[in-house]
Every structure is written in structure tokens, then in C-alpha cells.
């Protein structure tokens, strides 16, 4: 008797709940479950229908045929951000570890070519916490349920064998804690491509260490970027087949700053510390890229590539092919970098331009206040122009030990001034790669004030500060030649 009364009561309450649910809609918890299910279904479908390495592949690496056009570009709708919200460049100033000691760089009114990826104010964004203390134990747990505009905070520590596909837009994925969260591939990969495959647009990744990515086609990457728009800040990519591998995406801007790339490369010459395919704009600033294995320390097929205030070096043991390769030409801006070609470099060329022919409408080169040292005994060429750009500007570059193969012969209309090519630039230390100037260095006060080009001021604002930081460049009399102003 009591049992059947309980049953009737229970049925009554169940009906009441069903009625309320149909009036007011599903409770939030069911939404989450739905998304999770949908997301994992997608994953499975993709895994079965998408070939593991549809893109890029460097099979065409050294040929002049059109490479890499089959990468699907991002088709996601544009995110619905409000125009009034803070841009990523503002966030940059807050988040960078190097900025605390700086004066305000904005005072120089430089049109820094940074991407304007707009994000919602942080307070309005959902935060997913990841870590052994949390419900979400691993980054991949968060990736399965992440929705547009989420912030994913990953407790620092080691996450071996955890790989993920990020599909939502406007994600900020960052380490929580005083060091980096380390994602060691440990034999695993997402879609047989990478530790993280990023398919969403406008993703920001901060404070993550990626290592050990290896896959069957030897293009295993720390990050495989397939969406449109990416910011990578304060990350470390090492001992992968590629640090970052980005597919063709003609409207995409990628900003990489305060990050370290080392010992990436499968050793086949077709995988690199970082390999950016046909995007709109790559901005690589305040980074360290060293010891790429047989491949390049940086390879870009972007319509425009800015390499600013960074250190790219083979050092004594590195056997990279090029320090930087701009295979399809485009606009290249290099300001304030320290570059070194080591004794074990595979190729005599340090910078290679348009070796696979032009692919973009504007092809111009701007080299300003860089310091480059060749230590390859068999000789080194500072820059090889396989196809000549329509405009080239080379000002205040300091080149040591390139012999007769430093800068190329300037063509009519090109602007080559105040470059110093010497066997001994009197740098502070070659063995420690400290390219500041000695007191007697001829580069002191020997420069010319750079004007503007590529839509920006070419005047150097910063200096590279080891490792992967920056400091303001002082003004001290006439501008010095090279990447550092002497006090
Ligand atoms: Ca000076």
C-alpha cells in the first residue's frame, strides 16, 4: 500500500518536472551534454574522412611548382565581437613577461603591425579550469566542451600523451601558475597531426610547452593551425617535427611573441622550427629560434612576414638549412634581429627569398638594423634573392664574415645605406652570441635614421633580450648600425 502511494507520488513529480521543462526549455546541464556528444561525434567523423596530412607536405619543398593550395581555409563565421572591446595588442602589453621594466612603447606612435583580434572582456567570459584538482583533468577534457569565447586555464605541470582538437572560436588557452604547462606528446597525436590541432578562429595560446610531437608523415607539430587568426605568447616548442605548422589561410594573421623554438625538425629538411604556409601576415617578435634540425629556423609562405627583435641562430651545433626561408617572396620586414649561421649549417644561404617563385601581389624586402654573423667556414650568403623583389631597403645592417656575399647588388631604386660588412664588427662575444657593440666598434654612431616602409616606421624601437624578451632601444647620439645601441 505504502509502496504504491510512493509510486503515485513519484510519477506525479516526474510529470510536473516534464511539464516545467517543456515550458521553460532544457536546463543548462543538458546543453553541456549535448555539446559534448556533438563534439565527439564530429571528431570521429573527421577522423575517418580526413586524410592525415592533406596539406603542405614539403614534397614540393625545393621545386618551383605551386605548393600547398589544397589546405581548406577556415570557413567559420566571423565571431560576433563588439568593436569597442580591447584588442589583443593591449592584452599583449599586460601579459608579456618582458614589459614590466619598460617605458611605454606607444609613446613612439609606431604603427606596430599587430593583429587586431578582438576579445570579449575577460570578466564576461566563461573559465574552464584544467588540472588534477579540477573536474577537467586534462586539456583535452576542456577541448571537448569548450564553447566560443571560453578561457581555458591549465594548471602548470606535465600532461604526457594528452592531445586535443580545439574547435571553438575566440578561445584563450593559457597556463595557470608561475611556469608553463607542459604537453609532452609521448607517442600520441590529434588527427595524426599535432599535440594540438586548432580549428577555431582567433585563438590565443599562452604559457604552454609543447614537446615530442612525432607522426607517421613526419610533420608532427606542437600546434597545427587550421583556423584563422592565432596568437602564441610565452610558449616553448622543442623536439617536435615542427614547432608550429600553419596551413594556408589567406585572411589569417598569426602573432608569435616571447616564445622559444628549439630542436624541432624531423631531420629530413622538410620540417622546421616553425612553418607558416600561405597566410596574410605573420608577425614574429621577441622570440628565440635556434637549433632547427636540418630544416629552417623559420619558414614562411605568408603574403607578409615581419621578423622583429628576435634571435635566430644555429649556434655551434645547429645544422639548419636556412635561418629563414620566405619561399614565395611577399613582403618581408626584418628589424633589429640577431642572426647567426653556424659552422654546421647545411646551406650557405642565411636568408632565402622567393626560391619557389612569387605567389603574392606585393614583393618587397625591408632589412633594417639587423646584426648577422656567419661562422660557416665554407662561406655564407646573407640573403639570396632567387627572384628580385620590386623594392628592397637595407639600412644599418651589421654583417660579419660574409665576405663578398653579404648584401646583393642594389638595383635601381633600391635603398641601401649605412650597412657595414666586415670581418670583425667588434661584438662583445661571439662564443656567447652577445652581439652588443664593444667600445671600439665601427658600428657606433654610423647609422642613418630609417624612414618608413611597408606601412610602418622602420625606426627600431626595441632590442632583443635573451631569452625571448625585449627591451627598449635607447637613443644615444646618432643611431648605431646593428641590432643594439651602445650606451
Ligand atoms: Ca649611437
Evaluate whether 484 touches 476 at the Cβ level (below 8 Å): no
- pLDDT attached to residue 92: 32
The pLDDT tens digits for 409-464 are 999 999 999 999 999 999 999 999 999 999 999 999 999 999 999 999 999 999 99
C-alpha cell read off for 352: 632565402
Evaluate if residue 487 carries a pLDDT over 80.
Answer: yes
- Tell me how far the alpha carbon of residue 460 lies from the centroid of ligand 1, in angstroms: 12
Most confident of 65-79, 118-132, 403-417: 403-417
416 CA from centroid of ligand 1 (Å)? 19
Give the pLDDT mean for 218-241. Answer: 98
DSSP string covering 290-348, please? Answer: E--SSS-S-EE--SEEEEES-EEE-TTT---S-SEEETT--EEEEES-EEEE-TT-SSS
Report, as an integer, the average pLDDT of 284-290: 98
Has residue 405 got a pLDDT over 90? yes
Q: How far apart are CA 313 and CA 299, in angstroms?
A: 14
Whole-angstrom Cα distance, residue 368 to residue 82?
37
Q: 51-55, 255-259, 355-359 — which is least confidently predicted?
A: 51-55
The alpha carbon of 433 and the centre of ligand 1 are apart by a number of angstroms equal to 21
Q: What are the CA-CA distances from residue 159 to residues 74, 155, 178, 265 (Å)?
A: 29, 10, 16, 22
- Whether 338 contacts 464, CB under 8 Å: yes
pLDDT, mean of residues 60-72: 34
329 neighbors 303 (Cβ within 8 angstroms): no
Ligand 1: centre distance to CA 364 (Å): 28
- Report pLDDT for 96: 38
Looking at residue 115, its pLDDT comes to: 52
Identify the residue with better confidence: 349 or 21. Answer: 349
pLDDT of residue 148 exceeding 70, the answer is yes
pLDDT digit string, tens, across residues 85-95 = 333 333 333 33
Distance 481 CA to ligand 1 centre (A): 8
| Res 117: pLDDT | 61
Cα of 446 from ligand 1 centre, angstroms: 7
CA 478 – ligand 1 centroid, Å: 4
Confidence of residue 62 (pLDDT cuts 50, 70, 90): very low
- Give 330-353 pLDDT, tens digit per residue: 999 999 999 999 999 999 999 999
Q: How far apart are alpha carbons 265 and 278 in whole angstroms?
A: 20
CA dihedral 410, 330, 341, 478 (to 10 degrees): 60
Q: Which of 143, 144, 129, 246 is nearest to 177 (CA)?
A: 129
Sign, Cα dihedral of 38, 42, 43, 45: positive
CA of 338 to the centre of ligand 1 (A): 18
Please report, rounded to a whole number, the percentage of residues in the chain having pLDDT higher than 90. Answer: 74
The residue written with cell numbers 577522423 in the block is 47
Distance 475 CA to ligand 1 centre (A): 7
Give residue 479 CA to ligand 1 midpoint distance, Å.
4
| Ligand 1: centre distance to CA 346 (Å) | 36
Query: For residue 448, how many other CB atoms are within 10 A of its CB?
Result: 15
Model confidence at 52, in pLDDT bands (50, 70, 90)? very low
Over range 355-382, report the average pLDDT: 97
**pLDDT band, very low/low/confident/very high, at 103 (cuts 50, 70, 90):** very low
Ligand 1 centre distance from Cα of residue 49 (Å): 60
What local confidence, expressed as pLDDT, does residue 91 receive?
32
Alpha-carbon distances, residue 376 vs 154, 321, 402 (angstroms): 42, 12, 9
Kindly tell me if the per-residue pLDDT of 73 is higher than 60.
Answer: no
Q: How far is the CA of 255 from the centre of ligand 1 (A)?
A: 30
Q: Which uninterrupted H or E stretch holds 129?
A: strand 127-130
Q: Calculate how far, in angstroms, residue 415's C-alpha sits from the geometric centre of ligand 1.
A: 21
**Where is mean pLDDT largest: 53-57, 98-102, 118-122?**
118-122
Residue 100 predicted with pLDDT over 80: no
From ligand 1's centre to the CA of 450, what distance in Å?
14
Query: Which pLDDT value is given to residue 37?
Result: 30
pLDDT at 325 exceeding the cut of 70: yes
| Of 389, 375, 385, residue with least CA distance to 341 | 375
H or E segment and range at residue 144: helix 139-145
pLDDT at 26 over 80: no
Q: What is the DSSP string of 347-362?
A: SSEEEEESTT---SS-
The whole-number average pLDDT for the span 20-33 is 34
> What is the biggest distance separating any 2 CA atoms in the chain, rounded to whole angstroms?
104
Q: How much distance in Å is there from the Cα of 443 to the middle of ligand 1? A: 8
Higher-confidence residue of 65 and 156: namely 156
The full DSSP string for 74-95 is P-PPPP---TTSPBHHHHHHHH
Q: What is the pLDDT at residue 120? A: 85
Other CB atoms within a 10 A radius of the CB of residue 143 amount to 28
pLDDT band of residue 391 (cuts 50, 70, 90) is: very high
Q: Can you give the pLDDT at residue 84?
A: 31
Calculate how far, in angstroms, residue 484's C-alpha sits from the geometric centre of ligand 1.
9
Average pLDDT in the chain: 83
Q: How remote is the CA of residue 440 from the centroid of ligand 1, in Å?
A: 12
Whole-structure pTM value: 0.79
**DSSP for 198-250, written as a single string:** E-SSSEEEESEEEE----TTS--EEEEE-SS-EEEES-EEESSSEEEEE--EE
Predicted confidence at residue 19, as pLDDT, reads: 43
Could you give the angle at the alpha carbon of 253 between the alpha carbons of 359 and 182, nearest 5°? 120
In the reported structure, the alpha carbon of residue 406 is separated from the centroid of ligand 1 by a whole-number distance in angstroms of 23
- Distance between terminal CA atoms of the chain? 95
Amino acid at each position: 500500500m505504502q509502496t504504491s502511494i510512493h509510486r503515485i507520488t513519484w510519477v506525479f513529480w516526474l510529470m510536473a518536472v516534464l511539464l516545467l521543462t517543456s515550458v521553460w526549455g532544457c536546463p543548462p546541464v543538458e546543453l553541456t551534454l549535448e555539446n559534448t556528444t556533438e563534439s565527439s561525434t564530429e571528431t570521429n567523423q573527421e577522423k575517418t574522412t580526413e586524410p592525415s596530412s592533406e596539406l603542405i607536405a614539403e614534397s614540393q619543398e625545393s621545386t618551383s611548382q605551386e605548393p600547398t593550395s589544397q589546405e581548406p581555409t577556415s570557413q567559420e563565421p566571423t565571431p560576433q565581437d563588439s568593436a569597442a572591446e580591447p584588442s589583443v595588442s593591449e592584452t599583449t602589453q599586460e601579459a608579456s613577461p618582458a614589459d614590466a621594466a619598460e617605458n611605454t612603447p606607444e609613446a613612439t606612435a609606431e604603427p606596430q603591425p599587430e593583429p587586431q583580434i578582438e576579445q570579449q572582456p575577460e570578466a564576461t567570459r566563461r573559465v574552464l579550469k584544467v588540472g588534477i584538482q579540477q573536474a577537467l583533468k586534462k586539456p583535452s577534457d576542456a577541448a571537448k566542451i569548450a564553447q566560443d569565447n571560453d578561457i581555458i586555464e591549465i594548471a602548470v605541470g606535465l600532461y604526457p600523451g594528452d592531445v586535443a582538437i580545439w574547435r571553438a572560436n575566440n578561445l584563450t588557452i593559457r597556463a595557470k601558475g608561475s611556469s608553463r604547462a607542459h604537453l609532452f606528446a609521448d607517442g600520441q597525436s590529434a588527427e595524426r597531426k599535432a599535440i594540438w590541432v586548432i580549428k577555431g578562429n582567433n585563438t590565443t595560446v599562452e604559457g604552454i610547452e609543447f614537446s615530442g610531437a612525432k607522426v607517421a608523415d613526419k610533420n608532427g607539430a606542437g600546434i597545427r593551425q587550421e583556423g584563422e587568426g592565432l596568437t602564441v605568447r610565452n610558449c616553448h616548442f622543442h623536439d617536435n617535427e615542427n614547432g608550429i605548422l600553419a596551413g594556408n589561410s589567406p585572411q589569417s594573421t598569426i602573432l608569435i611573441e616571447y616564445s622559444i623554438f628549439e630542436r624541432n625538425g624531423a631531420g629530413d629538411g622538410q620540417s622546421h622550427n616553425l612553418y607558416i604556409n600561405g597566410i596574410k601576415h605573420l608577425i614574429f617578435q621577441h622570440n628565440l629560434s635556434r637549433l632547427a634540425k636540418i630544416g629552417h629556423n623559420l619558414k614562411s609562405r605568408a603574403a607578409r612576414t615581419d621578423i622583429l627583435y628576435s634571435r635566430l641562430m644555429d649556434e655551434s651545433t645547429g645544422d639548419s638549412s636556412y635561418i629563414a626561408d620566405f619561399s614565395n617572396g611577399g613582403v618581408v620586414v626584418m628589424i633589429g634581429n640577431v642572426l647567426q649561421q653556424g659552422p654546421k649549417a647545411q646551406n650557405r644561404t642565411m636568408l632565402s627569398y622567393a626560391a619557389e617563385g612569387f605567389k603574392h601581389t606585393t614583393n618587397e624586402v625591408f632589412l633594417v638594423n639587423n646584426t648577422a654573423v656567419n661562422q660557416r667556414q665554407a662561406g655564407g650568403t646573407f640573403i639570396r634573392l632567387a627572384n628580385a623583389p620590386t623594392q628592397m631597403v637595407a639600412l644599418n645592417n651589421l654583417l660579419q664574415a660574409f665576405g663578398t656575399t653579404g648584401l646583393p647588388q642594389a638595383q635601381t631604386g633600391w635603398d641601401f645605406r649605412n650597412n657595414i660588412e666586415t670581418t670583425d664588427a667588434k661584438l662583445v662575444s661571439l662564443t656567447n652570441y652577445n652581439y652588443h657593440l664593444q667600445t671600439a666598434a665601427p658600428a657606433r654612431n654610423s647609422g642613418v635614421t630609417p624612414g618608413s616602409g611597408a606601412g610602418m616606421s622602420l625606426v627600431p624601437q626595441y632590442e632583443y633580450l635573451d631569452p625571448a624578451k625585449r627591451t627598449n632601444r635607447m637613443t644615444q647620439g646618432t643611431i648605431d648600425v646593428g641590432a643594439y645601441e651602445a650606451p
